[in-house]
Structure 1
Amino acid sequence: MVRKPLVLLTVCLATLTINIGTMVVNVALPSMADQLDASTKDLLWIVDGYNLAFAALVLAMGSLSDRFGRRPALVIGLAGFAASSAAAALADGSAALIAARVVMGVFAALIFPTTLSIISNTFTGRRERASAIGLWGASSGVGVAVGPVMGGFLLAHYSWHSIFWALVPIAVVALGLTLAFVPESRDPDVPRIDRPGFVVSVAALAVLTWTIIEAPGRGWGSAETLTGFGVAAVLILVFIQIERAVRNPMIDVTLFLDRRFSAACAAVTIAFFALFGFIFLITQFFQFVREYTPLETGLRFLPVAFSIAASSVIGSQLAPRLGTRAIVAPGMALMGAAFLWISTVPVGVTYATVVIPQMILLGTGIGLVTAPATESIMRVLPPARAGVGSAVNDATRELGGTLGVAVVGALFSSQYADRLIELIGQHLYPATAAKASESVGYAHAVAAQAPALRDLVDTAFLDGFNLACVTVGVICLVGAAAAWFALPADRYDPLADETAQAHDAQLTARH
Structure 2
Amino acid sequence: MLVPLALAQFICSFAGSNMNVMINDMSEDLDTTVAGIQLAITIFLLVMAALMIPGGKLTDKYGRKRCFTLGLAIYAVGALISTVAPNLTVLIVGNSILEGVGTALLIPPVYILVTMLFTTVSSRARAFGAVSAAGGVGAATGPLIGGLITEAISWRAAFVFQALVIAAILWLARTLKDPRPADPSRPFDTLGAVLSSVGLILVVMGIMAAQSNLWLTVGLVAAGALMLFWFFVSVRAKERAGREPLLSVTLFRNHVSNLGLITQNSQWLLLMGTSFVVAAFLQVVRGYNAIETGVIFTAATVGILTASLAAERLAERRAQRTLIIAGYALSVVGTAVLLALVAGHPSAWAFAPGLLLIGLGIGVMLTPSVNVVQSAFPEERQGEISGLSRSVSNLGSSLGTAVAGTVLVAGITSTPSRAYGLAMAVLAAVSLVGLAAALRLPRPQHAPREQRASPLP
Shorter chain as normaliser: what TM range?
A: over 0.9
Shift of 1:256: 1.7
- Residue type of the alignment partner of 1:341: V
Shift of 1:37: 2.4
Deviations 1:287-310 (A, max 9, x none): 233332211221221121231233
Does the CA contact (< 8 Å) of 2:17 and 2:276 recur in 1? no
Share of identical aligned residues, percent?
26
The answer to whether the aligner puts 1:477 opposite 2:436 as a matched pair is no
Within a 5 Å distance, the mapping from 1:324-363 to structure 2 comes to 324-345=320-341, 346=343, 348-352=345-349, 354-363=350-359
Shift of 1:270: 0.5
Match of 2:72 in 1: 78
Q: What SS does structure 2 have at the residue aligned with 1:489?
A: coil
Does the CA contact (< 8 Å) of 1:259 and 1:488 recur in 2? no
Match of 1:34 in 2: 28
The answer to whether the aligner puts 1:405 opposite 2:397 as a matched pair is no
The answer to whether the aligner puts 1:245 opposite 2:241 as a matched pair is no
In 2, distance between residues paired with 1:149 and 1:199? 37
Task: Name stretches of at least 5 consecutive residues in structure 1 with no aligned partner.
Answer: 1-6, 421-459, 505-511
In 2, distance between residues paired with 1:332 and 1:282? 19
In 2, distance between residues paired with 1:479 and 1:251? 24
In 2, distance between residues paired with 1:179 and 1:492? 40
Match of 1:310 in 2: 306
In 1, distance between residues paired with 2:451 and 2:13? 35
The answer to whether the aligner puts 1:279 opposite 2:275 as a matched pair is yes
- Residue type of the alignment partner of 2:157: S
Length, aligned pairs only = 450
- Residue type of the alignment partner of 1:271: Q
In 2, distance between residues paired with 1:281 and 1:312? 24
Deviations 1:450-476 (A, max 9, x none): xxxxxxxxxx21211110101110221
In 2, distance between residues paired with 1:225 and 1:11? 38
In 1, distance between residues paired with 2:35 and 2:111? 33
Deviations 1:288-339 (A, max 9, x none): 3333221122122112123123324545643565333222123223222221
In 2, distance between residues paired with 1:23 and 1:385? 31
Match of 2:133 in 1: 138
2:39 to 45, 53, 56: 45
Q: What SS does structure 1 have at the residue aligned with 2:335?
A: helix
Does the CA contact (< 8 Å) of 1:137 and 1:370 recur in 2? yes
- Residue type of the alignment partner of 1:199: V
Match of 2:422 in 1: 467
Task: Normalising by structure 2, report the TM-score.
Answer: 0.92
Match of 2:213 in 1: 218
Shift of 1:124: 1.6
Comparing 283-292 with 118-127, greater Cα deviation is found at: 283-292
In 2, distance between residues paired with 1:401 and 1:306? 20
Does the CA contact (< 8 Å) of 1:130 and 1:317 recur in 2? no
In 1, distance between residues paired with 2:319 and 2:426? 29
Task: Normalising by structure 1, report the TM-score.
Answer: 0.83
The answer to whether the aligner puts 1:236 opposite 2:228 as a matched pair is yes
Distance 1:490 1:164, change over 3 A: farther
Match of 1:129 in 2: 124
Does the CA contact (< 8 Å) of 2:72 and 2:170 recur in 1? yes
Shift of 1:277: 0.9
Shift of 1:387: 2.8
- Residue type of the alignment partner of 2:209: E
Deviations 1:86-139 (A, max 9, x none): 011111011111121211100011111111111112112221011110111111
- Residue type of the alignment partner of 1:269: N
In 1, distance between residues paired with 2:269 and 2:234? 27
Within a 5 Å distance, the mapping from 1:80-95 to structure 2 comes to 80-95=74-89
Does the CA contact (< 8 Å) of 1:88 and 1:97 recur in 2? yes
Does the CA contact (< 8 Å) of 1:16 and 1:140 recur in 2? yes
2:146 to 129, 145, 151: 151
In 2, distance between residues paired with 1:15 and 1:315? 17
Match of 2:295 in 1: 299
Does the CA contact (< 8 Å) of 1:131 and 1:313 recur in 2? no
In 2, distance between residues paired with 1:279 and 1:37? 23
- Residue type of the alignment partner of 2:439: W
Match of 2:61 in 1: 67
The answer to whether the aligner puts 1:378 opposite 2:370 as a matched pair is no
Does the CA contact (< 8 Å) of 2:141 and 2:297 recur in 1? no
